[in-house]
């Protein structure tokens, strides 16, 4: 059963469980294309809230990066 999903090929880091709310830091994976065949890279911060309906996670911050 899926709780939430992010449509990215990326490296992911969770915030510590002692910190609330829970955040995911998502960095674009090296040498990967996304679903739109873009090679742009970004560091994105998502808030993980199981109380929110649906599978999507809202992006809180997205910062373009030169390096993947």
Please report whether residue 2 resides in a domain: no
Is residue 53 situated within a structural domain?
Answer: yes
What was the pLDDT predicted at 31? 60
Q: Which domain holds residue 15?
A: 10-65
pLDDT on residue 61: 92
Question: Cα angle at 60 between 38 and 49, to 5 degrees?
Answer: 115
Residue entry with tokens 């030169």: 66
> Exposed, middle or buried: residue 7 (CB in 10 Å: 0-12, 13-18, 19+)?
exposed
In tens digits, the chain (68 residues) has pLDDT values of 777 888 777 788 888 878 778 888 988 765 665 566 666 778 899 988 878 888 888 889 998 887 66
Asked whether residue 35 is assigned to any structural domain, the reply reads: yes
Q: What pLDDT is attached to residue 34?
A: 56
Does 4 fall in a domain?
no
Domain assignment present for residue 1? The answer is: no
Domains: count for the chain: 1
Residue 3 falls inside a structural domain = no
3-class SS letters over 30-49: CCCCCCCCCCCEEEEEEEEC
**pTM of the prediction?**
0.70
């Amino acid at each position: 059963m899926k709780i939430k999903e992010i449509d990215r090929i990326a490296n992911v880091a969770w915030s510590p469980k002692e910190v609330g709310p829970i955040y995911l830091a998502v960095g674009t994976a090296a040498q990967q294309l996304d679903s739109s065949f873009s090679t742009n890279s970004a560091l994105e911060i998502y808030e993980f809230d199981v109380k929110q309906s649906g599978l999507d996670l809202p992006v809180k911050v997205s910062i373009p990066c030169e390096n993947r």
